[in-house]
Amino acid sequence: MTNSPHISLESLADIAEERASLETLPDAESHLAVCETCNATLQNLRRLLFLMKNDTTEDVPRDVLMSALNIFSPATPARLPRIIAVLTFDSRSAGPAFGMRSIRTASRQLLYRAQETALDLRVTVENEECRLAGQVIRDNCPGAQIELSGATGTVTTELNELCEFSFPAIPLGMYSLRVRMPDVEIEIPELELKD
Protein backbone atom coordinates (compact mmCIF):
# COMPACT_ATOMS: atom_id res chain seq x y z
CA MET A 1 0.00 0.00 0.00
CA THR A 2 3.05 2.26 -0.07
CA ASN A 3 2.09 3.56 -3.52
CA SER A 4 -1.34 4.71 -2.40
CA PRO A 5 -1.74 8.41 -1.86
CA HIS A 6 -4.35 7.63 0.79
CA ILE A 7 -4.04 6.54 4.39
CA SER A 8 -4.18 2.77 4.69
CA LEU A 9 -7.30 1.19 6.16
CA GLU A 10 -5.16 -0.21 8.96
CA SER A 11 -3.97 3.26 9.93
CA LEU A 12 -7.47 4.72 9.66
CA ALA A 13 -8.73 1.94 11.92
CA ASP A 14 -5.99 2.78 14.41
CA ILE A 15 -7.05 6.41 14.35
CA ALA A 16 -10.70 5.46 14.74
CA GLU A 17 -9.81 3.30 17.72
CA GLU A 18 -7.61 6.07 19.08
CA ARG A 19 -4.51 3.97 19.17
CA ALA A 20 -2.59 5.50 16.26
CA SER A 21 1.08 5.93 16.99
CA LEU A 22 2.20 9.49 17.59
CA GLU A 23 4.81 9.18 14.84
CA THR A 24 2.28 8.62 12.09
CA LEU A 25 -0.49 10.82 13.41
CA PRO A 26 0.70 14.26 12.21
CA ASP A 27 1.03 13.01 8.62
CA ALA A 28 -2.35 11.39 8.78
CA GLU A 29 -3.94 14.48 10.24
CA SER A 30 -2.61 16.73 7.51
CA HIS A 31 -3.84 14.25 4.89
CA LEU A 32 -7.26 14.01 6.52
CA ALA A 33 -7.51 17.78 6.45
CA VAL A 34 -7.56 17.72 2.66
CA CYS A 35 -8.89 14.26 1.67
CA GLU A 36 -12.63 13.66 1.59
CA THR A 37 -12.19 10.00 0.68
CA CYS A 38 -10.14 9.17 3.78
CA ASN A 39 -12.42 11.31 5.90
CA ALA A 40 -15.47 9.41 4.70
CA THR A 41 -13.76 6.09 5.43
CA LEU A 42 -12.71 7.27 8.87
CA GLN A 43 -16.24 8.38 9.65
CA ASN A 44 -17.58 5.00 8.55
CA LEU A 45 -15.03 3.26 10.77
CA ARG A 46 -15.99 5.41 13.76
CA ARG A 47 -19.67 4.75 13.15
CA LEU A 48 -18.99 1.02 12.91
CA LEU A 49 -16.94 1.01 16.09
CA PHE A 50 -19.71 2.87 17.87
CA LEU A 51 -22.32 0.40 16.68
CA MET A 52 -20.17 -2.61 17.50
CA LYS A 53 -19.16 -1.42 20.93
CA ASN A 54 -22.81 -1.06 21.82
CA ASP A 55 -23.09 -4.78 21.19
CA THR A 56 -20.10 -5.91 23.18
CA THR A 57 -17.74 -4.56 25.79
CA GLU A 58 -14.81 -6.33 24.19
CA ASP A 59 -12.52 -4.80 21.61
CA VAL A 60 -13.75 -5.31 18.07
CA PRO A 61 -11.52 -7.79 16.21
CA ARG A 62 -9.75 -6.10 13.33
CA ASP A 63 -10.94 -8.55 10.69
CA VAL A 64 -14.55 -8.09 11.79
CA LEU A 65 -14.11 -4.35 11.50
CA MET A 66 -12.59 -4.63 8.03
CA SER A 67 -15.28 -6.91 6.64
CA ALA A 68 -18.00 -4.73 8.16
CA LEU A 69 -16.40 -1.72 6.51
CA ASN A 70 -16.87 -3.35 3.12
CA ILE A 71 -20.60 -3.04 3.65
CA PHE A 72 -20.18 0.69 3.96
CA SER A 73 -17.66 1.30 1.24
CA PRO A 74 -20.16 1.67 -1.63
CA ALA A 75 -21.45 4.70 0.28
CA THR A 76 -18.09 6.47 0.24
CA PRO A 77 -18.12 9.19 -2.38
CA ALA A 78 -16.95 8.06 -5.79
CA ARG A 79 -15.34 11.11 -7.26
CA LEU A 80 -14.11 9.62 -10.50
CA PRO A 81 -16.31 9.25 -13.54
CA ARG A 82 -17.31 5.62 -13.92
CA ILE A 83 -17.84 3.98 -17.27
CA ILE A 84 -19.71 0.71 -17.63
CA ALA A 85 -17.86 -1.61 -19.98
CA VAL A 86 -19.87 -3.40 -22.67
CA LEU A 87 -19.22 -6.96 -23.81
CA THR A 88 -18.15 -6.97 -27.46
CA PHE A 89 -16.83 -10.51 -27.90
CA ASP A 90 -17.27 -13.85 -26.15
CA SER A 91 -15.32 -16.80 -27.53
CA ARG A 92 -17.96 -19.14 -26.06
CA SER A 93 -20.62 -17.75 -28.39
CA ALA A 94 -18.43 -16.73 -31.31
CA GLY A 95 -19.40 -19.54 -33.64
CA PRO A 96 -18.14 -22.99 -34.61
CA ALA A 97 -14.47 -22.08 -34.82
CA PHE A 98 -14.46 -21.19 -31.15
CA GLY A 99 -17.05 -23.65 -29.92
CA MET A 100 -15.27 -26.89 -30.64
CA ARG A 101 -14.98 -29.45 -27.90
CA SER A 102 -11.25 -29.65 -28.40
CA ILE A 103 -10.77 -26.21 -26.92
CA ARG A 104 -13.20 -26.60 -24.05
CA THR A 105 -10.31 -26.70 -21.62
CA ALA A 106 -8.72 -23.60 -23.08
CA SER A 107 -9.35 -20.15 -21.74
CA ARG A 108 -12.56 -18.37 -22.58
CA GLN A 109 -11.90 -14.94 -23.99
CA LEU A 110 -14.13 -12.00 -23.24
CA LEU A 111 -13.61 -8.58 -24.75
CA TYR A 112 -15.17 -5.51 -23.22
CA ARG A 113 -15.09 -1.93 -24.37
CA ALA A 114 -15.52 1.28 -22.43
CA GLN A 115 -15.03 4.31 -24.64
CA GLU A 116 -11.37 4.32 -25.72
CA THR A 117 -10.43 1.51 -23.34
CA ALA A 118 -10.73 -2.20 -24.08
CA LEU A 119 -10.53 -5.04 -21.58
CA ASP A 120 -9.30 -8.41 -22.75
CA LEU A 121 -10.26 -11.07 -20.18
CA ARG A 122 -9.15 -14.71 -20.12
CA VAL A 123 -11.22 -17.03 -17.95
CA THR A 124 -9.85 -20.48 -17.14
CA VAL A 125 -11.93 -22.89 -15.08
CA GLU A 126 -10.27 -25.82 -13.38
CA ASN A 127 -11.42 -27.94 -10.42
CA GLU A 128 -14.43 -25.72 -9.69
CA GLU A 129 -12.12 -22.74 -9.45
CA CYS A 130 -11.57 -19.91 -11.83
CA ARG A 131 -8.50 -18.02 -12.86
CA LEU A 132 -9.09 -14.60 -14.32
CA ALA A 133 -6.32 -12.82 -16.17
CA GLY A 134 -6.21 -10.24 -18.88
CA GLN A 135 -5.02 -6.94 -20.19
CA VAL A 136 -6.25 -3.39 -20.23
CA ILE A 137 -5.81 -1.97 -23.73
CA ARG A 138 -5.39 1.77 -23.62
CA ASP A 139 -2.72 4.41 -24.28
CA ASN A 140 -1.40 4.06 -20.77
CA CYS A 141 -2.49 2.67 -17.44
CA PRO A 142 -0.22 4.25 -14.83
CA GLY A 143 -0.92 3.09 -11.30
CA ALA A 144 -4.10 1.32 -12.30
CA GLN A 145 -5.61 -1.14 -9.89
CA ILE A 146 -8.09 -3.83 -10.75
CA GLU A 147 -10.61 -5.10 -8.27
CA LEU A 148 -12.82 -8.18 -8.37
CA SER A 149 -15.73 -8.36 -5.92
CA GLY A 150 -18.00 -11.31 -5.30
CA ALA A 151 -19.96 -13.09 -2.60
CA THR A 152 -16.79 -14.39 -0.98
CA GLY A 153 -15.01 -11.05 -0.86
CA THR A 154 -12.87 -8.70 -2.87
CA VAL A 155 -9.45 -9.24 -4.39
CA THR A 156 -7.34 -6.45 -5.78
CA THR A 157 -4.31 -6.55 -8.01
CA GLU A 158 -2.22 -4.05 -9.93
CA LEU A 159 -1.55 -3.89 -13.62
CA ASN A 160 2.03 -4.55 -14.64
CA GLU A 161 3.93 -2.31 -17.07
CA LEU A 162 2.20 -4.02 -20.01
CA CYS A 163 -1.20 -3.29 -18.42
CA GLU A 164 -1.65 -7.01 -17.77
CA PHE A 165 -3.07 -8.57 -14.64
CA SER A 166 -3.93 -11.93 -13.17
CA PHE A 167 -5.90 -12.89 -10.10
CA PRO A 168 -5.30 -15.91 -7.89
CA ALA A 169 -7.80 -18.78 -8.23
CA ILE A 170 -11.26 -17.83 -6.99
CA PRO A 171 -14.56 -19.70 -6.58
CA LEU A 172 -16.95 -19.73 -9.53
CA GLY A 173 -19.78 -17.24 -9.25
CA MET A 174 -21.00 -13.76 -10.03
CA TYR A 175 -18.51 -10.95 -9.70
CA SER A 176 -18.12 -7.31 -10.48
CA LEU A 177 -14.86 -6.03 -11.90
CA ARG A 178 -13.48 -2.53 -11.58
CA VAL A 179 -10.41 -0.97 -13.13
CA ARG A 180 -9.39 2.08 -11.14
CA MET A 181 -7.26 4.53 -13.05
CA PRO A 182 -6.24 8.00 -11.91
CA ASP A 183 -8.81 9.71 -14.12
CA VAL A 184 -11.58 7.17 -14.55
CA GLU A 185 -13.08 3.94 -13.26
CA ILE A 186 -14.20 1.24 -15.63
CA GLU A 187 -16.69 -1.27 -14.33
CA ILE A 188 -18.15 -4.57 -15.43
CA PRO A 189 -21.10 -4.76 -13.03
CA GLU A 190 -21.95 -8.41 -13.68
CA LEU A 191 -19.23 -10.84 -14.66
CA GLU A 192 -20.34 -14.44 -14.32
CA LEU A 193 -17.40 -16.77 -13.91
CA LYS A 194 -18.61 -20.26 -14.66
CA ASP A 195 -17.67 -23.45 -16.39
State which residue, 38 or 110, has the beta carbon closest to Zn ion: 38
Give, as ranges, the residues between 93 and 132 that touch Zn ion (CB under 5 A): none
Give, as ranges, the residues between 138 and 167 that touch Zn ion (CB under 5 A): none
Based on the shown chain and the rule CB under 5 A, indicate whether residue 6 belongs to the binding site for Zn ion: yes
User: Residue 175 CB, nearest distance to Zn ion (Å)?
Assistant: 26
Query: Which residues does 79 contact at the CB level (< 8 Å), separation at least 6?
Result: 36, 37
Instruction: Specify whether the CB–CB gap between 155 and 177 falls below 8 A.
Output: no
- Give 118: exposed, middle or buried? Use CB within 10 Å, 0-12, 13-18, 19+: middle
Per-residue contact string for residues 23-62; x = within reach of Zn ion by CB under 5 A: ------------x-xx------------------------
Q: Tell me the number of residues near Zn ion by CB under 5 A.
A: 4
CA distance 135 to 146: 10
The one-letter code for the residue type at 24 is T
State which residue, 45 or 132, has the beta carbon closest to Zn ion: 45
User: Residue 85 CB, nearest distance to Zn ion (Å)?
Assistant: 26
Alpha-carbon Rg for the chain in angstroms: 20
User: Residue 5 CB, nearest distance to Zn ion (Å)?
Assistant: 6
State which residue, 35 or 155, has the beta carbon closest to Zn ion: 35
Answer left, alpha or beta for residue 95, where phi above 0 means left and psi between -120 and 50 means alpha: left
Which residues are near Zn ion by CB under 5 A? 6, 35, 37-38
